[in-house]
Structures are given as C-alpha cells and as structure tokens.
C-alpha cells in the first residue's frame, strides 16, 4: 500500500447556500492538509483531492456521514506522492459546465452499467460506445471503436450531437472519466431523441478497476499533475502520437510556454529537444518554463 491516495468523486445533490459551503469546505480540507480541486454548486459537489491515506479516510468518512451526500462514492487511487500542489474549493453555478439549466441529473433514470454489463453489451451489433469527453482526452485514450465528438469543452457537447445522428436508434453506452459528465450528457441525448442511452457507472475509472480496462486503448487523461494514467492491464495498446515526430507515445505534457499551457502528447526525445514546448513559436516565447522531463508545472497561484 502506498502512503498517499488521490480521490475522485462527485454527487449531484441540492446544496443550499453553496457559496458559504465552499468556504467552510475549504477550511475543512485545509485542516486535513489535503491538496486538490473541488467545485461546489447548488447542484452538488465535484472534486479530486489528494493526501496521506489516513487524512483521505477522514475526508471520505465526513462526506459519507453527511446526509446531503448520501450514497456518495469515492474512486481511490494509491499514489506515490500528492497529486496536487494547492487546495482549492470553488463555488460555481454548475459542477460540470454544460450551460443547459433544464438538465437536472438529480432525477436521472438513465441506466448505469456495471463493468460486467458493459463487457456483455458493448460488442453487440446494435450497441455503440460514445466518448463524451474532449478531444485532448480521447486522443490520449478511448474505448476501441468508440464514437467521439469534435469538442474542446463539454459545453460544446449538445451542438455536436448531430455528428452521431445516424446512431439514434442504436443502444448508446456513454462514458467519461468518472461518470459525472455522462449524468448530464445522457439527459441531453434523451432530450434530443436518442432513445436507448446508458452510461458506464463510475466511468472509465471504475471500469478499469473492475474489468481490468479491457478494450480501453491508450491512457486515461486525468486532471492532476499525473496527466495520464494506465487503465488497461488486459490488452493495452498505445494510440496517441507525438505532436512533433508522430511516433507512438503515451506521454502527455503541458506546453512549457505558460501563455500556451496546452496539454498535448510529446515523446521523451522530442520533449528534451523542444524543451517541453508544443511548437517553435512557443519555444521562442519570452516566459518559457524550465523543462524537467515531467511536463508538469505548478499553476503558481
């Protein structure tokens, strides 16, 4: 067992005075010496925090015992070091930014599929998988043969659904990292006439744990300094290509130019050659940060 954990969790639920809750929750997280990023809104909580195992347990116990968060599930990663440098709890109007106020996941009736149900369904003739994540995420890794949409943010999801219009009569298994985006995405799809919509319970993360990640190709993009994590230990494959030399690699970095800061795939060799930059113009930029091979830079807030 490793010394630290990184937790990933969400819960759509009603939080009254969420702005005040956010302030109190930040104090609570700081008292536990956790690091991470949490969004709080009237529609719920969405977070990822990291810290020593015992502090993570205290955090989970507190939330599990709070009736507001009844039934909250934590996805737990054992890690060698804390995955964040800072602790933020931010109040937002939505915990997942979609911009469709009529979508209310607290009352969703979309079936959540367990890993074994996914395995049993996904290769059938009348079933397709849909990756609801952004381009930068699915380019690093996605389910074999899954549909993707040309989106850079989740807000663009509804307007890009026409790209998969022809699958309207199929059974569609939607998935994202941990399930939170699917809670909204599947409702949008139903509103737009997709009848048979499912979501993977707990997203790629939980599927990876329970099905060994079978048929998930590449790595899973994560929103902490690890950037990419392995999912599949059954039949892994690398699908991403280095931005510079086109060689196959799963290394994901932040561009060393802070004005760019783009996340992109960069191989080990090109990393050193490009000093962690995505392009020549970034390489020439005035404030390029020193590259240490990791491709991660603290946000410096």
Residues carrying an active site annotation: 176
CA trace torsion 269, 239, 168, 177 (10° rounding): -70
- What is the total count of residues that contact Zn ion (CB under 5 A)? 10
If the CB atoms of residues 13 and 270 are measured against Zn ion, the closer one turns out to be 270
Q: Which of residues 149-178 bind Zn ion (CB under 5 A)?
A: none
Between 277 and 296, how does the x/- string for binding to Zn ion read (CB under 5 A)?
-x---x--------------
- Residue 266 near residue 254, CB atoms below 8 Å: no
Letter string b/e over residues 267-278, b meaning 16 or more CB atoms within 10 A of that residue's CB? beebbeebebbb
Q: Which of residues 24-43 bind Zn ion (CB under 5 A)?
A: none
If the CB atoms of residues 126 and 259 are measured against Zn ion, the closer one turns out to be 259
Q: Which of residues 211-270 bind Zn ion (CB under 5 A)?
A: 242, 244-245, 255, 257, 260, 267, 270
Q: Is 3 in the site for Zn ion (CB under 5 A)?
A: no
Cα–Cα dist 129/123, whole Å: 9
Q: How far is the CB of 184 from Zn ion (least distance, A)?
A: 30
Q: How far is the CB of 270 from Zn ion (least distance, A)?
A: 3
User: What's the token pair of residue 292?
Assistant: 């240490």
If the CB atoms of residues 281 and 298 are measured against Zn ion, the closer one turns out to be 281
User: What's the token pair of residue 33?
Assistant: 């010496």
For the chain, count helices (H), then strands (E): 9, 16
Q: How far is the CB of 231 from Zn ion (least distance, A)?
A: 23
The candidate with the shortest Cα–Cα distance to 160, out of 135, 139, 128, 126, is: 135
Q: How far is the CB of 267 from Zn ion (least distance, A)?
A: 3
Name the residue with tokens 């494959």. 237
Cα–Cα dist 142/175, whole Å: 10
If the CB atoms of residues 130 and 255 are measured against Zn ion, the closer one turns out to be 255
**Residues of the shown chain interacting with Zn ion in the complex, contacts defined by CB under 5 A:** 242, 244-245, 255, 257, 260, 267, 270, 278, 282
């Amino acid at each position: 067992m490793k010394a630290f954990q990184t937790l990933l969790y969400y819960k759509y639920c009603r939080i009254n005075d969420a702005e005040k809750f956010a302030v109190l929750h930040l104090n609570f997280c700081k008292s536990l010496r956790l690091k991470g990023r949490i969004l709080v809104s009237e529609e719920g909580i969405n977070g990822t925090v990291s810290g020593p195992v015992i502090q993570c347990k205290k955090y989970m116990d507190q939330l599990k015992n709070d009736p507001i968060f009844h039934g909250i599930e934590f996805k737990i990663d054992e890690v060698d070091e804390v995955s964040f440098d800072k602790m933020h709890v931010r109040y937002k109007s939505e915990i997942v930014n979609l911009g469709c106020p009529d979508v209310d996941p607290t009352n969703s009736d979309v079936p959540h599929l367990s890993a074994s149900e996914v395995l049993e369904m996904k290769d059938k003739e009348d079933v397709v998988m849909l990756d609801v994540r952004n381009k930068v995420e699915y380019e690093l890794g996605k389910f074999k043969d899954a549909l993707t949409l040309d989106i850079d943010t989740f807000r663009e999801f509804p307007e890009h659904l026409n790209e998969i219009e022809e699958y309207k009569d199929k059974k569609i298994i939607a998935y994202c990292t941990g399930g939170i985006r699917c809670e909204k995405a599947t409702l949008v799809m139903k509103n737009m006439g997709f009848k048979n919509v499912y979501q993977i319970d707990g997203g790629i993360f939980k599927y990876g744990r329970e099905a060994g990640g079978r048929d998930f190709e590449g790595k899973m993009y994560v929103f902490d300094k690890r950037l990419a994590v392995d999912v599949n230990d059954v039949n892994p494959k690398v699908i991403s290509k280095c931005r510079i030399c086109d060689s196959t690699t799963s290394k994901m970095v932040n561009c060393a130019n802070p004005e760019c800061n783009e996340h992109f795939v960069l191989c080990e060799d090109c990393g050193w050659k490009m000093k962690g930059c995505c392009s020549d113009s970034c390489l020439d930029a005035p404030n390029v940060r020193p590259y240490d091979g990791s491709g991660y830079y603290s946000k410096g807030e």
